[in-house]
Structure 1
């Protein structure tokens, strides 16, 4: 009889039983699953080829983008695919703050995109982050790629007392060891949008300037980590590795932004062949970005596939949870918007969320309304660390839904939408407070948002869409003639605002429209 590995799941933990050919001795040492979390920046849910394939196209009411993603197609067939994951505040820094802390922007400290003019937006040092929990549980923790949750300060390790870049305001940032929240392997930067000439600071604070498309280099580093080259990780520990790729984030306007082999797949297609969504404004100058954007998606797909293959080659794939997602979407001319994100439209808020855990999570498509703060507690729950979820977490642990368990599997009725803006500035021009400009709710059928005036806080704009009958959000419904629907939506919205400790709840903004007094917990 040949020796073999038997994986048994007990209480959310994976126990490895080694059956030897002679002794038949069984070990009960617990082996927590590894976790790889990969999230390219600004990749909308619709930009995955499988949405147009059998088994997927009947689960959504949109047509997927005409994009090539062969590795994601195969991965989806082995995974739980969420069709309705929501980036609640669809901007880079606030989402990342929510992912790391399990808290909404008000409490994570990251309310706006981080730059040197916004000291108001900075990941709080006292937060107990997902990496802190994994580290305390005995994990080796690695972060590779874009971070973008630090307020840039003059802390360049190679040039003390200076910023890491000269432009104003400064966007890029170096993260010192005391701000890494349990990540013991570090190869990261703040934010820098020169895709073929990226740079990174390693664990020791040494800067590396690279002349390679950033997703390729980051995949190289992730593969080296998996192979444990030069002993970069403790092979006796499970690992939690985050890989944050910048593309398909802008710029996306030339071959300096993507790989030519990927661009060649799209270069001969007309604008209307690429931007097929009926809400896309084909008169916009931005339409020329479409082939470069989709080329970046295809390039990310290829590097994702390389990481998956390396994981398999190392024999680590069976006991590793792999997540593919994004921080927010990309409008790409939909609704005629120049802003690719920071709006309640589906293209901006609906993000990929695909989870593979062989033999533990069954393949299916699920319409769970996963919110950004839910990611941290859910990942911890999937690893059997639900008792270690910090009390500060405001998101929900959906591990039982992922595992299809019948108990404790509450499904949210809606997801909160948040948009913030700069408010007060000090005499140096630094932003010292933020303005909560828009709030809303997204359910399995409707999107409802309110935008207020910055000076008076009076209602400025409402958006109400029936996403079932109007999937491309072409018809803004008047709220006065849909009072019953609005009443139901705002009641759930109040509950979410309270859960998020949001200033709209504390100040009871638009109380004439939003029933704060009727909250039922």
Structure 2
């Protein structure tokens, strides 16, 4: 089967004024390194945090994030519903699932139908309309690359075939008035960026270090980079620890010193990790970048302190998806329902408003936009197009809180068919699944629409997902999870629901 994007719908904003005066609204900083798995946070090895989960943390050094976690609410079960860079970012920016955001696959020049909708009302649009100065720094990766190179008009931004990187012109920046960004380019020590005016900057510096420097300059308002009369919203999309991670040319050297002499069995401590795989050696470089990002995050927090803005700034540390790093003997770092790929960091600090604790909320990616707007006092401005839910009351621990989700949806899409020009048309919805508080399940189909695979795990008894359950041996559990999946697919008007995929197992029309 092959699917085309459904027709977009209007994203009308609710325009009632917020109850929070503009002068009292907090600043918001959202930091999200790419491919950073939740277990790669040092504090999960601390007894306070380890007691909240039933899996072990990686042996990483992240002292700044450890301190930050003790001042924040830490979500242990945040989910990247479609754990790929572009689909996650489309959901993050728009609050909509991939079919509605427009980003169903990773964006590149052979996938013209996967690109963030120009008419989507995104998080930057809302903050900007609410009187915020908005900045985007780093990796974006939600645009279909076109021949719009500002340095060489009429060409792509490089001669790569296919082209993955992209220049985002002003009309596609969705409310961000300060711009220092690129599409996707995996050369960590020689990155490049386009600024607000479209000028290209080629840099010989490890990209997280350079990007944090630019973020600090924005926070400090060097050369009047922002309107100091306004609160600010800053998104910082860091590329590492995303691949490549094969040598010291790919990683932070200071971080590498912490891991270079450790054996692979000392580093890959998850019992489902396969240390015999060639990729296993990448753990040293991956963890080196994790520690380097921690150092740069600490530098960002100190700049906030020095500017006297800490108490009035919401800071979030998250990621777009995880990294398997040889778990389950797979070489694919992402795009799977396994915990190492699906589960992402999500730490929120807002002094005096969000208390320190660990919470197992099943936060989905489309929930992030409305939750941030709610925390900033802009709940009344959440667009009607948003499909996620505002969990700001839960983070604040208000007396009245929203109902917790029973499950989070999982999606995996593949390329549709190619046309005569070699362009991908539509997409193939290979797998759908869900994560609950106790179980994980994936149903995958072949191109003919028939069931190809079922993955079913008891995450309480089998936290590393090493012993898949046979659905035939637990029919009541399987039926119950299929019922929950039907609810999620129906609520999201997913293509599986519309086409009644695997209707013999998934009770789409049953009232739940």
**Pairwise same-fold verdict (TM > 0.5):** yes
Q: Which among 377, 381, 398 is matched to residue 374 of structure 2?
A: 381
Q: Which among 269, 272, 275 is matched to residue 265 of structure 2?
A: 272
Give the Å deviation of 1:501: 2.0
Q: Is the 8 A contact 2:439 2:459 kept in 1?
A: yes
Matched, 1:144 2:137: yes
Give 2:399's aligned residue.
406
Cα deviation code 1:189-244 (max 9, x no counterpart): 00000000000000000000000000000000000000100000000000000000
Give the Å deviation of 1:408: 4.0
TM-score after normalising by structure 2: 0.96
Greater RCO (Cα-Cα under 8 Å, separation 6 or more): 2
- The RMSD of aligned alpha carbons is 1.1
Task: Please state whether the residue corresponding to 1:433 is helix, strand or coil.
Answer: strand
Give 1:25's aligned residue.
none
Give 1:515's aligned residue.
507
Matched, 1:472 2:460: no
**In the comparison of the two structures, how many residue pairs are matched?**
496
Give the Å deviation of 1:13: 6.5
**Distance in 2 between residues matched to 1:88 and 1:514, nearest whole Å:** 19
Task: Please state whether the residue corresponding to 1:516 is helix, strand or coil.
Answer: coil
Give 1:343's aligned residue.
336
**Distance in 1 between residues matched to 2:280 and 2:454, nearest whole Å:** 27
Give 2:3's aligned residue.
none
Which consecutive residues of structure 1, in runs of 5 or more, have no partner in the other structure? 1-10, 16-28
Give 1:159's aligned residue.
152
Matched, 1:485 2:477: yes
**Distance in 2 between residues matched to 1:487 and 1:496, nearest whole Å:** 14
Matches within 5 A, 1:229-268: 229-268=222-261
**Distance in 1 between residues matched to 2:126 and 2:150, nearest whole Å:** 27
Matches within 5 A, 1:72-151: 72-151=65-144
Cα deviation code 1:327-372 (max 9, x no counterpart): 0000000000000000000000000000000011100000000000
Give 1:499's aligned residue.
491
Give the Å deviation of 1:12: 9.0
Q: Which among 210, 224, 227 is matched to residue 220 of structure 2?
A: 227
Cα deviation code 1:156-195 (max 9, x no counterpart): 0010000001111100000000000000000000000000
**Distance in 2 between residues matched to 1:295 and 1:167, nearest whole Å:** 29
Q: Which entry has the higher C-alpha Rg, 1 or 2?
A: 1
Q: Is the 8 A contact 1:12 1:382 kept in 2?
A: no
TM-score after normalising by structure 1: 0.94
Q: Is the 8 A contact 1:13 1:30 kept in 2?
A: no
Task: Please state whether the residue corresponding to 1:424 is helix, strand or coil.
Answer: strand
Give the Å deviation of 1:144: 0.1
Give 2:9's aligned residue.
none
**Distance in 1 between residues matched to 2:401 and 2:284, nearest whole Å:** 44
Q: Is the 8 A contact 1:106 1:501 kept in 2?
A: no
Q: Is the 8 A contact 1:290 1:332 kept in 2?
A: yes
Task: Please state whether the residue corresponding to 2:418 is helix, strand or coil.
Answer: coil
Task: Please state whether the residue corresponding to 2:504 is helix, strand or coil.
Answer: coil
**Distance in 2 between residues matched to 1:202 and 1:331, nearest whole Å:** 34
Q: Is the 8 A contact 2:70 2:356 kept in 1?
A: yes
Q: Is the 8 A contact 1:194 1:257 kept in 2?
A: yes
**Distance in 2 between residues matched to 1:473 and 1:442, nearest whole Å:** 12
Q: Is the 8 A contact 1:13 1:32 kept in 2?
A: no
Task: Please state whether the residue corresponding to 2:39 is helix, strand or coil.
Answer: coil
Give the Å deviation of 1:405: 1.4
Give the Å deviation of 1:429: 0.6
Q: Is the 8 A contact 1:109 1:123 kept in 2?
A: yes
Q: Which among 317, 325, 329 is matched to residue 318 of structure 2?
A: 325
Q: Which among 296, 299, 302 is matched to residue 292 of structure 2?
A: 299
Cα deviation code 1:131-165 (max 9, x no counterpart): 10000000000000000000000000010000001
Give 2:186's aligned residue.
193
Task: Please state whether the residue corresponding to 1:432 is helix, strand or coil.
Answer: strand
Which consecutive residues of structure 2, in runs of 5 or more, have no partner in the other structure? 1-16
